[in-house]
Structure 1
Amino acid sequence: MSGEILFLAHRLPFPPDRGDKIRSHHILKALAELAPVHVGCLADTHEDKEHEGELEALAATHCMPWRSKPVSVAGFEALVRREPVSLAAFRSQDLQDWVRVTLAQRDIRAIYVYSGQMGQYVPSDWAGHLVVDLVDVDSAKFEAYALDRAGPRGWIDAREAKLLRRVEATLAANADATLLVSEAEAGLLRSRTTTAHDIRPLRNGIDCAFFDLASVEPHPAMKDGAPHFVFTGQMDYAPNVAAVTRFAHAILPAIQRGADDAHFHIVGRAPSDAVRALRELRGVTIHGAVPDVRPFIAGATIVVAPITIARGVQNKVLEAMAMGRCVLASPEAATGIDAKHGEHLVVAEDDRAFATRALHLLARPAEREAIAADARRMVLDTMSWQSMLCDLPRLMGFGNDHSRDAA
Structure 2
Amino acid sequence: MSGTEGREAMTKPGILYVTYGFPYPLSSGMRVRNHYLIKAISRRYAVSLLTLAESEAELAHLDALRPYCVSVDAVVATPYSTRQHALGVARCLVRGKPLHTHLLGYPAMRAKVAELAARWDVRLVQIEHSYMAHYLQALPPAYRCRTILEFPDLGSVQYGRMLRLRISPQRKARYLWEWWTARRWEPRYARQFDQCVVVSPEDARVLRQADPTLPITVVDNGVDTERLRPLPDAAGSADLLFIGTMHYAPNLDAVHYFVQHVLPEVQRRVPEARLIVVGKSPPESVRALNNGRDVIVTGEVPAVEPYYAQCAVSVVPLRAGGGTRLKILESMALGRPVVSTTVGCEGLEVRDGEHLLVADEPRTLAAKVVALLQDGDLRCALAARARRLVERRYAWPILGERLMATYDALLAQPVPKM
Q: 1:208 aligns with which of 225, 230, 237?
A: 225
- Does the 8 Å CA contact 1:110/1:397 hold for their aligned counterparts? no
TM-score normalised over the length of structure 1: 0.90
| CA distance in structure 1 between the partners assigned to 2:389 and 2:162 by the alignment | 33
Label 1:278 to 1:272 Cα distance change in 2 as closer, same or farther (>3 A).
same
Which residues of structure 1 form unaligned runs of 5+? Answer: 402-407
TM-score normalised over the length of structure 2: 0.87
Label 1:343 to 1:397 Cα distance change in 2 as closer, same or farther (>3 A).
closer
| CA distance in structure 1 between the partners assigned to 2:51 and 2:361 by the alignment | 39
Residue of structure 1 equivalent to 2:340: 329
Instruction: Write the letter of the residue equivalent to 1:390.
Output: E
CA offsets, 1:95-116, max 9 Å, x none?
1111122233331211011222
- Does the 8 Å CA contact 1:2/1:109 hold for their aligned counterparts? no
| CA distance in structure 2 between the partners assigned to 1:266 and 1:394 by the alignment | 38
Residue of structure 1 equivalent to 2:273: 262
CA offsets, 1:299-329, max 9 Å, x none?
2111000000031210000100111111000
Instruction: Write the letter of the residue equivalent to 1:347.
Output: V
Residue of structure 2 equivalent to 1:101: 115
RMSD of Structure 2 on Structure 1 (CA): 2.4
Is 1:4 matched up with 2:14? yes
Residue of structure 2 equivalent to 1:166: 184
Label 1:246 to 1:342 Cα distance change in 2 as closer, same or farther (>3 A).
same
- Does the 8 Å CA contact 1:231/1:303 hold for their aligned counterparts? yes
Residue of structure 1 equivalent to 2:32: 22
- Does the 8 Å CA contact 2:130/2:186 hold for their aligned counterparts? yes
Residue of structure 1 equivalent to 2:250: 239
Which is worse superposed, 30-39 or 372-381? 30-39
- Does the 8 Å CA contact 1:115/1:135 hold for their aligned counterparts? yes
User: 1:279 offset after TM fit, Å?
Assistant: 0.8
| CA distance in structure 2 between the partners assigned to 1:208 and 1:55 by the alignment | 20
- Does the 8 Å CA contact 1:247/1:306 hold for their aligned counterparts? yes
User: 1:10 offset after TM fit, Å?
Assistant: 0.8
Residue of structure 1 equivalent to 2:210: 192
Alignment of 1:48-63 (within 5 A): 48-63=58-73
| CA distance in structure 2 between the partners assigned to 1:138 and 1:151 by the alignment | 19
Is 1:180 matched up with 2:198? yes
User: 1:161 offset after TM fit, Å?
Assistant: 1.7
| CA distance in structure 1 between the partners assigned to 2:75 and 2:110 by the alignment | 10
Instruction: Write the letter of the residue equivalent to 2:153.
Output: D
Aligned pair count reads: 394
Residue of structure 2 equivalent to 1:349: 360
Instruction: Write the letter of the residue equivalent to 1:264.
Output: L
- Helix, strand or coil at the partner of 1:42: strand
Is 1:38 matched up with 2:48? yes
| CA distance in structure 2 between the partners assigned to 1:200 and 1:281 by the alignment | 46
Instruction: Write the letter of the residue equivalent to 1:65.
Output: V
Residue of structure 1 equivalent to 2:416: none
| CA distance in structure 2 between the partners assigned to 1:27 and 1:316 by the alignment | 17
- Does the 8 Å CA contact 1:229/1:264 hold for their aligned counterparts? yes
Alignment of 1:134-149 (within 5 A): 134-148=151-165, 149=167
| CA distance in structure 2 between the partners assigned to 1:275 and 1:390 by the alignment | 40
- Does the 8 Å CA contact 1:213/1:298 hold for their aligned counterparts? no
Residue of structure 2 equivalent to 1:405: none
User: 1:91 offset after TM fit, Å?
Assistant: 1.6
Percent identity of paired positions between Structure 1 and Structure 2: 26
- Helix, strand or coil at the partner of 2:350: coil
- Helix, strand or coil at the partner of 2:271: coil
Which is worse superposed, 356-365 or 322-331? 356-365
CA offsets, 1:338-366, max 9 Å, x none?
11111110001111111111122222221
User: 1:400 offset after TM fit, Å?
Assistant: 10
Label 1:35 to 1:380 Cα distance change in 2 as closer, same or farther (>3 A).
closer
Instruction: Write the letter of the residue equivalent to 1:112.
Output: Q
- Does the 8 Å CA contact 1:172/1:199 hold for their aligned counterparts? no
Instruction: Write the letter of the residue equivalent to 2:403.
Output: L
Instruction: Write the letter of the residue equivalent to 1:291.
Output: P
Alignment of 1:105-124 (within 5 A): 105-123=119-137
- Helix, strand or coil at the partner of 2:150: strand
| CA distance in structure 2 between the partners assigned to 1:143 and 1:378 by the alignment | 30
| CA distance in structure 2 between the partners assigned to 1:194 and 1:156 by the alignment | 29
User: 1:71 offset after TM fit, Å?
Assistant: 9.7
Q: 2:324 aligns with which of 298, 310, 313?
A: 313
Label 1:147 to 1:226 Cα distance change in 2 as closer, same or farther (>3 A).
closer
Label 1:329 to 1:390 Cα distance change in 2 as closer, same or farther (>3 A).
same
- Does the 8 Å CA contact 2:49/2:73 hold for their aligned counterparts? yes
User: 1:147 offset after TM fit, Å?
Assistant: 4.1
- Does the 8 Å CA contact 1:115/1:134 hold for their aligned counterparts? yes
- Does the 8 Å CA contact 2:40/2:396 hold for their aligned counterparts? no
- Does the 8 Å CA contact 1:131/1:177 hold for their aligned counterparts? yes
Label 1:382 to 1:250 Cα distance change in 2 as closer, same or farther (>3 A).
same
Label 1:116 to 1:245 Cα distance change in 2 as closer, same or farther (>3 A).
same
Instruction: Write the letter of the residue equivalent to 1:208.
Output: T
Q: 2:380 aligns with which of 346, 362, 369?
A: 369
| CA distance in structure 2 between the partners assigned to 1:150 and 1:54 by the alignment | 40
Residue of structure 2 equivalent to 1:390: 401
Label 1:194 to 1:341 Cα distance change in 2 as closer, same or farther (>3 A).
closer
| CA distance in structure 2 between the partners assigned to 1:209 and 1:30 by the alignment | 14
CA offsets, 1:5-48, max 9 Å, x none?
11110110112342111111122223322232222112224542
